[in-house]
Structures are given as C-alpha cells and as structure tokens.
C-alpha cells in the first residue's frame, strides 16, 4: 500500500494514499470537529466546521473531503481556523430555533456542544429567519425544521435505508429538508425505522415522546401498569448514563423500573421465546406441508412496513407471528389477566423498545388479542433514560434486581434477538431440537456478525435448508429483489431486520456523537453483550423456558404450538400499503 508522510499540528504520521485530512488527523490522535460528516455515507464538506489550514492549499479547506499529499503540514487549531469555525456556527444559529431549554437533545446536541466550545454569540447575525410548522403526522417521529442545520445526515441515513423519503427542497435561504412536494411524513412511504433520529446532530428529528402518557398511567390508581423491556435495551440503556458502550445493565434497569412505580416488570425476552416456538412450528409446517417458502421473519415492524410498501406481492412469505412486543402484551392481557383476576381494560402495558417503529406497530390492526390493544405505549430506550433522570434515580448506584415472574423467565435464545442473526439462530435451535432430537443448542456462528447479508446451510430433520439473514432496508431490498426473481439462491428461511445490525442499532437507541459512530462499531460492541449473556445461561433454547412449558400442552392455555387459540392471540396479518396518500 502506498503511504504518504504528513504532519498534523507537528505530529508526523504515515497514512494510506487517498486519505483525507480528517482521516490523517484521527490517525494522529487529533479530532477535528464536524457536523455534516458521516463516514462513507455523507462525505460532502457542506457544513465547513472542519476547515483547517494545509500547505499547498489555497485558503482554508474542508478536512473531511480534502486529500492529503506527500509532505503536507496541517494545522487544525490556528487563530484563523478557530475564527472561521466560530463565524460558521454563528451563521448557523442565525436561522436556528434556539429553544434549548425545552429541546429533547439539550446537553446531547452536537451543535450546542460546539457553540459552547467556541464561545459563540448566538445573536451575532440577524435578518430573515424561516419558520416551519412541526410535523406530527406519524406516531413515531416529530420533525422540527426550525432546528434543522441542513447537514443532510438524515438524508444520507434515509438513502442508506433505500426509502429516500426525505431530501433537500427549494434553494437558497428557503432550502429545507422535507418530503417530495412537502407532504407530511405520514403521507409518504417512511418505514418508521428512525435511523434519521440517531444521526441528526440537533433536535430537528426526535422520537415522539410518550412519557407523559406513562406518568399519567402510573399516577392512576385504577390502572395496573406493567412494563416489558426488549432484549437489546439491557445492552444500551447504560449509555444514557455515560456507562461504557456494551455494558449489560439488566439488573439496574429492572431496579429503576420498579422504582418508577410499575406494578410488574416483565421481560420481552419471554415474548421472544414465545415467538420462536410459534415461528419454528410455522417453519416446520411449511416445510413439511408444502407451504410458502422461503418463510421470512416478522419481528421487525420497520421491515414489515417496508415489505407492505415496496413488496406487497411477497407478503405471503412473511411469518404470521406477531412480534415479541405484541405477543408479550397479548399474554399479559389474556392469560396473565385471568391468572391474576384482572380485567384487561384495567391493565396498561408499556414496552421499552430499541425501535421507533414499535410506536407505529402498537396501532396496527389485528393487535388486540384481549379486545384491547396488546400494548398501550411503546417507549424508546432514550425515553426510558429521560424518565429515570426525571425521577431523580442515580442509575449507576442502583442494585441489580431480577424481573418479576412468571413473565420474567427467558432463555439465551431470546436474549440474542437483539442482534442481527439472533432470531434465525434462535428459531433454528428449536427446529433442530424438535426434528433432529438435539439436546444442545445449535450455534450458528455463520449468521452472527454485522455484515448486512449472511448465508449458511443447516440440516434440519434430514433436510438441508438454506438460510439468509439481512439487516437494514437496503439489504432487505437486495434479498427481496432476488426473491421476486424466483429465489435463485434457494433460500428456505430468511431473517430480515429493518435497522442495520438489528435492534442493537435501532432508531430508538441512545444517541452517540457522530465521531463515536464513525470510530466505534456500535453494532458489534452492543451485540457482544447479548451473546455473552446467552453463553452464560443454563437454558438456551426457547422451548426449554419454564413459562413456555406452562403455557402449552393439553389442558393448558394453548393446547399446542400453532393451535387455534395460539393462532388467534399470537398471529397477525399484513396489508399492502399505498406509497403516497
């Protein structure tokens, strides 16, 4: 590899030919501030916060796109550079809604941080300031263009997800980020994945905050308020409290939820195990009875919505199983309600999810097994973090506590649901046990990892089945295009997650600065916490769960896997969607 020798603030480094100044600076241990930059996704040099001085260059240059040359000397913090960055920040603020005290991104806003560091005068420039109405047209997201700085990171994230429903509209001072023909977001084929919210550097794109609904329910003596937490949340919630990325905070999370006042703290891992026994049964039935193959998982509401919008003719391939969130809610308001002599209308189910699309999912049709919504409110990991702060709880000092029984039981198969490939591995473990008589959990290392598409072949019941795992809507498109072309790959079972890397990288997960997202593989580090927990558990196959055994069998709540009663409560249907209303 050809190397170039450069100096960054007097520090000599060798970098690969073709490197940018930003890359050279990072190798030298020098961080240059950025706002628009996203590694390999949005390298456009638009915000000009990253300007530096470099020999051989005319004037200041943008470090994120300017290539280094042999012998180049780069200065990143000269008086000229700092003055230029400060002026740029003040110009950005001239059209920015500076209501920081009420902004959900306050103290975790990249623009706010830079303005503080550079000592800007927020009123340095006056003049015309465009005003936009807030967009509340979706159940999962609020768009506030008054806080948008036109960095286009959200546009890049939406493009990366293939759907590309947002982009730059108009020109000059009127330039704004919006949908085609400035329709409300709820009238375009947005899949609710929320990937735009985790890359937005300000409060222009945020999840719809439903915490007040939860506080109201907790204060209502007539409500029995139950909370359930998704598998991946235990691996990410700690980031809201400055704990190291990938810290498993399951015990502290349970303790915090109990102190918030929930009547019961349950684990959505139970619902994941329930999903697996139903999904594995469905797969086996399709294989043995000539059903529609390949079967595709249905746990990710962003993916399901993507399929309804873009591949409605292929909906028959989706498993009819509800997601773990919805299955858990359904069981709470049916079996658990009867067991505890509770009226389901008085039970208020809150879920804590890594995913903004879960807010959309709870309002879907065919999600009310008890006659009432399976889940009443879906919160993101970030919203739970804010509730814990509001309650004055010192999260890191809390003791470790365990989930409430019986819906706190789980297996290692459920835990790994939060990582791409985890649903596939969990389902195959159970199918392998049923059909091959295996007593030990099958470990599908081939479907682990953060690659967008992974494939492998396993033998189940004497038959080789070809598996495919895809994460992110762009990868989903690649897989679905092949399926539409007749499945030339010969896949039998496909797992698809709407977010790249799966739930650990969901649109509702804690916000990390773009520098961290560029330099740390969040997907891998967070997923490791889940796989480590799986390996440490005694029960690692879903059908081994004690509560699953209690629910199923002759004379039990569900007579058999995939039986009539189970199908009524735990399965759902899908609807083709119009791309534009």
Q: What is the pLDDT of residues 364-412, one digit of tens each?
A: 999 999 999 999 999 999 999 999 999 999 999 999 999 999 999 999 9
Domain presence at residue 580:
no
So what's the pLDDT on residue 525? 98
- Tell me, yes or no, whether 64 and 100 share the same domain: no
Q: What is the mean pLDDT of residues 260-285?
A: 96
Cα–Cα distance for residue pair 340/229, rounded to 1 Å: 21
Residue 85 lies in a domain: no
For residue 566, give the nearest of 580, 579, 548, 581 by alpha carbon. 548
Select from 145, 174, 207 the last residue of a domain: 207
Percent of the chain with pLDDT over 90: 94
Residue 269, pLDDT above cutoff 90 = yes
Residue 481 burial (C-beta neighbours within 10 Å; 0-12, 13-18, 19+):
exposed
- pLDDT for residue 514 is more than 80: yes
Give whole-number Cα distances, 353 to 103, 227, 378, in Å: 22, 11, 7
Banded model confidence at residue 436, pLDDT cuts 50, 70, 90: confident
Q: What are the residues whose beta carbons fall under 8 Å from the beta carbon of 268, sequence distance 6 or more?
A: 228, 229, 230, 231, 324, 325, 328, 351, 353
Alpha-carbon span 157 to 195, nearest angstrom: 6
At 48 the pLDDT is: 97
pLDDT at 560 (0 to 100):
93
Pick from 192, 207, 222: which residue ends a domain?
Answer: 207
pLDDT at 355 (0 to 100): 96
Q: Does position 462 have pLDDT exceeding 90, yes or no?
A: no
555 pLDDT higher than 90? no
In a domain, residue 364? The reply is yes
CATH of the domain at 237: 3.40.50.1780
Q: Do 152 and 72 share a structural domain?
A: no
Confidence of residue 442 (pLDDT cuts 50, 70, 90): confident
What residues pair up with 352 in beta bridges, in sequence order? 229, 379
pLDDT reading at 165 higher than 90: yes
Residue 287 maps to a domain: yes
Q: Both 366 and 425 in a single domain?
A: yes
- Model confidence band, residue 104 (pLDDT cutoffs 50, 70, 90): very high
Position 575 in a domain = no
Same domain, 306 and 455: yes
Residue-wise pLDDT for 208-257, tens only, equals 999 999 999 999 999 999 999 999 999 999 999 999 999 999 999 999 99
Q: What is the pLDDT of residue 520?
A: 97
581 pLDDT above the threshold of 80? no
Residues 181 and 258 in one domain: no
Tell me if 463 is assigned to some domain. yes
- What's the Cα-to-Cα distance from 126 to each of 91, 113, 146, 286, 419, rounded to whole Å? 9, 22, 15, 66, 48
In a domain, 42, yes or no: yes
Number of domains in the chain: 3
Place 126 in a pLDDT band, splitting at 50, 70 and 90. Answer: confident
Q: Which residue has the tokens 């975790």?
A: 108
The arithmetic mean of pLDDT across residues 506-532, rounded, is 97
Q: How far apart are CA 158 and CA 118, in angstroms?
A: 31
SS3 of the chain: helix, strand, coil, percent, to 5: 40, 15, 45
The Cα 32–Cα 40 span in angstroms is: 17
Asked whether residue 224 falls in the same domain as residue 293, the answer is yes
Residue 303 counted as domain residue: yes
Instruction: Please determine, for residue 461, whether its predicted confidence score (pLDDT) is greater than 90.
Output: no
Residue 460, pLDDT > 90, answer no
Chain-wide mean pLDDT for the chain?
A: 96
Angle between helices 268-289 and 422-436 (to 10 degrees): 60
348 and 313 in a common domain: yes
Mean pLDDT lowest among 215-229, 349-363, 551-565: 551-565
CATH number for the domain spanning 36: value is 3.10.20.740
Same domain? For 399 and 434 the reply is: yes
- 332 band by pLDDT with thresholds 50, 70 and 90: very high
| Residue 153 confidence (pLDDT) | 98
Same domain, 191 and 222: no
b/e burial code for range 195-214 (CB count within 10 A of at least 16 → b): bbbbbbbbbbbbbbebbeeb
Q: Looking at the structure, do residues 355 and 269 belong to the same domain, yes or no?
A: yes
Region 463-471: what's the mean pLDDT? 94
Q: Are residues 384 and 521 in the same domain?
A: yes
* Least confident stretch, 183-197, 224-238, 548-562: 548-562
Give the domain range for residue 46: 3-77
225 in the same domain as 201 = no
Q: What is the pTM of this model?
A: 0.96
Place 124 in a pLDDT band, splitting at 50, 70 and 90.
Answer: very high
Q: How confident is the model at residue 528 (pLDDT cuts 50, 70, 90)?
A: very high
């Amino acid at each position: 590899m050809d190397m170039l020798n450069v100096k960054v603030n007097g520090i000599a480094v060798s970098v690969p030919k073709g490197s940018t100044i930003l890359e050279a600076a990072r190798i030298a241990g020098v961080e240059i501030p950025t706002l628009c930059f996203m590694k390999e996704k949005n390298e456009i040099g638009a915000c000009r916060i990253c300007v530096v001085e470099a020999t051989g260059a005319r004037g200041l240059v943008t470090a994120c796109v300017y290539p280094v040359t042999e012998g180049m000397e780069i200065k990143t913090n000269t008086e000229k550079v700092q003055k230029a960055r400060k002026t740029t920040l003040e110009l950005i603020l001239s059209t920015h809604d500076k209501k920081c005290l009420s902004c959900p991104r306050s103290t975790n806003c990249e623009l706010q941080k830079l303005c503080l560091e550079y000592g800007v005068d927020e009123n340095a420039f006056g003049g015309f300031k465009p005003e936009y109405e807030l967009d509340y047209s979706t159940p999962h997201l609020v768009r506030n263009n008054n806080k948008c700085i036109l960095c286009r990171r959200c546009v890049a994230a939406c493009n990366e997800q293939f759907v590309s429903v947002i982009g730059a509209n108009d020109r000059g001072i009127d330039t704004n980020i919006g949908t085609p023909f400035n329709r409300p977001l709820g009238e375009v084929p947005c899949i609710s994945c929320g990937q735009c919210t985790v890359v937005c550097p300000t409060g222009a794109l945020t999840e719809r905050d439903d915490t007040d609904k939860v506080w109201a329910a907790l204060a209502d003596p007539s409500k029995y308020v139950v909370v359930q937490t998704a598998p991946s949340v235990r691996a990410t919630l700690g980031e809201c409290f400055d704990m190291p990325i990938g810290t498993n905070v399951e015990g502290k999370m349970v303790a915090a939820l109990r102190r918030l006042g929930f009547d019961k703290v349950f684990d959505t891992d139970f619902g994941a195990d329930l999903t697996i026994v139903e999904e594995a049964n469905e797969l086996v039935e399709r294989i043995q009875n000539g059903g529609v193959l390949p079967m595709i998982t249905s746990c990710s509401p962003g993916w399901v919505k993507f399929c309804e919008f873009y591949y409605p003719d292929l909906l028959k391939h989706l498993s009819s199983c509800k997601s773990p969130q919805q299955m858990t809610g359904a069981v709470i308001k049916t079996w658990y309600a009867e067991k505890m002599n509770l009226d389901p209308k008085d039970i208020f189910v809150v879920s804590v999810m890594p995913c903004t699309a879960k807010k959309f999912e709870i309002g879907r049709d065919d999600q009310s097994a008890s006659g009432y919504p399976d889940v009443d409110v879906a919160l993101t990991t970030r919203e739970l973090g804010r509730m814990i702060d509001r309650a004055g709880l010192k999260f890191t000092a809390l003791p470790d506590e365990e989930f409430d029984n019986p819906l706190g039981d789980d297996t290692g198969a459920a835990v790994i649901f939060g990582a791409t490939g985890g649903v596939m591995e969990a389902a195959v473990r159970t199918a392998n046990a049923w059909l091959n008589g295996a007593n030990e959990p099958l470990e599908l290392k081939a479907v682990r990892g953060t690659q967008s598409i992974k494939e492998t072949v396993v033998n189940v019941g004497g038959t080789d089945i070809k598996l495919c795992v895809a994460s992110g809507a762009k990868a989903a498109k690649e897989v679905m295009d092949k399926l539409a072309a007749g499945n030339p790959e010969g896949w039998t079972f496909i797992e698809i997650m709407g977010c790249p890397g799966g739930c650990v990288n969901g649109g509702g997960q804690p916000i990390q600065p773009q520098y961290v997202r560029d330099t740390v593989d969040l997907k891998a580090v967070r997923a490791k916490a889940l796989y480590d927990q799986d390996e440490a558990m005694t029960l690692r196959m879903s059908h081994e769960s004690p509560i699953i055994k209690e629910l199923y069998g002759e004379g039990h709540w569900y007579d058999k896997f995939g039986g009539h009663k189970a199908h009524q409560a735990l399965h759902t249907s899908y609807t083709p969607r119009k791309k534009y209303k």
